[in-house]
Copies of this chain bind each other. A is one copy, B any other.
Amino acid sequence: MELNEMLEQINELYNSRHIADVKKLLNDLNPADIAQLLEAVDEERRRIFFFRLLTKENAAETFVEFDFDTQEKLIHSFSDAELKEVLDEIYVDDAADIIEEMPATVVKRILKNTDSETREAINSILKYPEDSAGSIMTPEFVDLKKDMTVEDAFKRIRRTGVDKETIYTCYVTDASRHLIGVTTVKELLLSDYDDIIEDFMETNVISINTLDDREKASTELSRYDFLAMPVVDMENRLVGIITVDDAIDVLQEENTEDIQKMAAIVPTDTPYLKTGVFETWKKRIPWLLLLMVSATITSQILTSFESKLAALPVLVAFIPMLMDTGGNSGGQASVTIIRSLSLGEIKMGDIFRVVWKEIRVALVCGVSLAVVCFAKLMLFDKPVLGNSEITLSVALVICLTIVAEIVCAKIIGCTLPIFAKRLGFDPAVMASPFITTIVDAISLLVYFGLASLILSI
């Protein structure tokens, strides 16, 4: 059923006071869908009324799915008892996420209504730097000891599992909480009850550090097809895990960020329609300004060649084509390299192979484009469009410029992202708009250089 239909139905039921039906309809849905539905309810009071119809478990899971605005409004309307009920049910990493986005007064109320153990866990997550593995991990995992039997393990899982976000990967730790092994519920289920964990646990445990980048953690999790990635501190003690659903969210957020940077936008994780006009302006204006101001260079180049242009005005007509072709070629190279860097397909050490490949691709692309352009100029633009100023030499200047600028564009496009990464910047900012600005200037210099040489103007 579509969201709008469902919204209509639920509002009708509410208006005709069939509250039990509303309750059933809501609680039958998946929390992600309940959240979407309730966010579409216009009236604040009605939304709260609906929320209160949810079962304890659904309420908590739905609450986590809301956006931060809705969460804040709901918290304001909660009694302390209600707030405590929701907080008791949600996982510590989700609670930490929410707290990070709330104003100080709300944070105070949240922390007041959690028990001291949870409060401590939340605080320990909050102290990790933004975008670190520590900041997205949950301290709730199943830990076993190596001398346990399978039966002991199941007992422990049954006793403590209800509070854990995932129970399927179990971590084996020693007395000082060092991570020494890992096993899975599947392994446990397929073993005999009196088998000892130590005998079949995997001892080559892959883990990452609390201070590693959260993107690295997520990429590694995906590389090894894990359901959870263990996170250890500097002393190699297990302090938490990152679950696969959070890893997917991180990967998607990082992809969005990369795409925004490539399009010369300052990254933001607020959904488009929820961002205000001023907010959107703030994300877009810095790069527009910078790139506009850098275009002073192209203006200066054109001004200095003004007399040549006056002598042969037809040259002006092809400036946009040349600049776009250069920009597009450079953009193709830079975006390919940026993506490959982010997927870990190429490394700093590959730079010479990359450049060598791009030079060859550029030559093939440049020559094929130049041939087509030459044919178009001589067989279409000149005779059909009647542009009589196009001579063989003019066409030659234009086509040679295409080859030269594409080679320059591809070399610049593939090297800048790698250098950016080397210097510790995000390669994604070295994408099309930035490359275009540089390639523009080079293309113009090549163009006028060749024009002076071949056309002797």
Select from chain B the residue with minimum beta-carbon distance to A387.
B303
- Per-residue B-contact encoding for A200-239, CB less than 8 Å = 1, 0 else: 0001101000000000000000111101000000000000
Q: Knowing A32-B224, A285-B368, A432-B331, say if A259 contacts B325 (CB, 8 Å).
A: no
Interface locus among A48-56, A110-118, A132-140, A342-350: A342-350
> Among residues 271 to 304 in chain A, which have CB atoms less than 8 Å away from a CB atom of chain B?
271-273, 277-278, 280-281, 284-285, 287-289, 291-293, 295-296, 298-300, 302-303
Question: Among the listed B300, B318, B369, B376, which residue makes an inter-chain contact with A385, where contact means beta carbons less than 8 Å apart?
Answer: B300
Q: How far is the CB of A185 from chain B (nearest CB, A)?
A: 6
Select from chain B the residue with minimum beta-carbon distance to A274.
B345
A74 within 8 A of B: no
Main secondary structure of the interface of A (DSSP, over half): helix
A76 within 8 A of B: no
A127 within 8 A of B: no
Q: Contact at A369–B251, with CB atoms within 8 Å?
A: no
Q: Contact at A313–B320, with CB atoms within 8 Å?
A: no
Question: Among the listed B28, B157, B265, B313, which residue makes an inter-chain contact with A306, where contact means beta carbons less than 8 Å apart?
Answer: B313
Q: Measuring CB to CB, which residues of chain A are less than 8 angstroms from any residue of chain B? A: 28-30, 32, 154, 157-158, 161-162, 167-168, 185-186, 189-190, 203-204, 206, 222-225, 227, 244-245, 247-249, 251-252, 255-256, 258-260, 262-265, 271-273, 277-278, 280-281, 284-285, 287-289, 291-293, 295-296, 298-300, 302-303, 306, 309-310, 313-314, 316-321, 323-325, 327-329, 331-332, 334-337, 339-340, 343, 345-346, 350, 353-354, 357, 360-361, 364-365, 368-369, 372-373, 376, 380-381, 385, 387, 402, 431-433, 436-437, 440, 444
Select from chain B the residue with minimum beta-carbon distance to A335.
B263
